[in-house]
Structure 1
Amino acid sequence: MPENRKFSVPLEAIDEIVRVSESGITATKMIHTEEPYLEGHYPDFTIYPGVFIMESVNQTVDAYVARVLGADRIADLVAVMSARFTSPVLPGDTLQVSCQVAVQGDDLAVEANCRTAAGAAAARLKLMYRITGGGTR
């Protein structure tokens, strides 16, 4: 990683939007060994924390809302229906976050499948968001 790389606050949990459609979005996040939040998580087996995988999903949903529903709309997480973390995401991995989205009035039902670039299933989440701002769709 370049020495001049700056870490931002809050966490930049996605690096690139790969695909956007009416029914979903895919984004990626490269996990760099030098990222300060990895230090000590865990000392002998460093992994990308599950809560950060959740944040990667949240930021992917935010990008979907801005691009598909409008930049004046905001997605607020209101329910975690299920969250299953199935394999670790390690430094050097690229996390791919694929979200299938169903608009239900002012709500979004999101099913997120997270994988490493090697194809290992890392997490599967079912979430409900409330859309606010900009009127209803």
Structure 2
Amino acid sequence: MSRSFAAPLAAVDTVDVADTAAGGRVEAVKRIVAGDPYLAGHYPDFTIYPGVFTLESVQQAIRHWATRRHGPGTVAELTAITSISFAAPLLPGDTLRIGCDLSEHEDTPGAVRAKVRCHRGDGALSARMTLELRIERTDDDDDA
């Protein structure tokens, strides 16, 4: 299945990827900008970065890792949210810092678990989550 996620939303500004034998580590940053169109009306009197966008930021960071580790044409599809909690709001002017530890399942090819902690620029924990993903290679010709 081919899907374009959150296009044209760029939910990460920078991504740093490190590979390990069992998976990898991803660190990403998203600056929350007051003028971004997805903030308009998200609580008119108390604008916050939506939790679903925090999840999208994490997914986009993981997609960078999957492409680097497995090559172009690789997709990382979310298959399960094992746990997710939001601890502090992200407001315009804040910086979201994402840290993902990724581990590939030895017994299930393509299965990856991501343990994620998100912090605001001031160091406060904003979210934590454990995600399950499936890594697959795609063929661009399948979209035709």
TM-score (norm 2): 0.83
Which residue number corresponds to residue 4 of structure 1?
none
Which residue number corresponds to residue 125 of structure 2?
121
**Unpaired segments ≥5 residues, structure 1:** 1-7
Which residue number corresponds to residue 114 of structure 2?
110
Aligned equivalents of 1:71 and 1:9: distance in 2? 18
Query: Aligned-pair RMSD on alpha carbons?
Result: 1.5
Task: Determine what percentage of the aligned residue pairs are the same residue.
Answer: 39
Residues 48 and 90 in structure 1, CA contact (< 8 A), matched pair in contact too: yes
Residues 57 and 97 in structure 1, CA contact (< 8 A), matched pair in contact too: yes
Residues 17 and 65 in structure 2, CA contact (< 8 A), matched pair in contact too: no
Q: 1:9 to 1:132 in 2, by over 3 A?
A: closer
Deviation at 1:19, TM superposition (A): 4.4
Correspondence 1:16-55 to 2 at 5 A: 16-22=14-20, 23-55=24-56
SS of residue in 1 equivalent to 2:35: coil
Runs of 4+ in 1 over 2 A off after TM superposition: 18-23
Spell out, residue by residue over 1:42-96, the C-alpha distance to the aligned partner (whole angstroms, 9 max, x if none).
1111100000000000000100101122223211110000110111001001101
Aligned equivalents of 1:45 and 1:29: distance in 2? 19
Which residue number corresponds to residue 15 of structure 1?
13
Residues 18 and 28 in structure 1, CA contact (< 8 A), matched pair in contact too: no
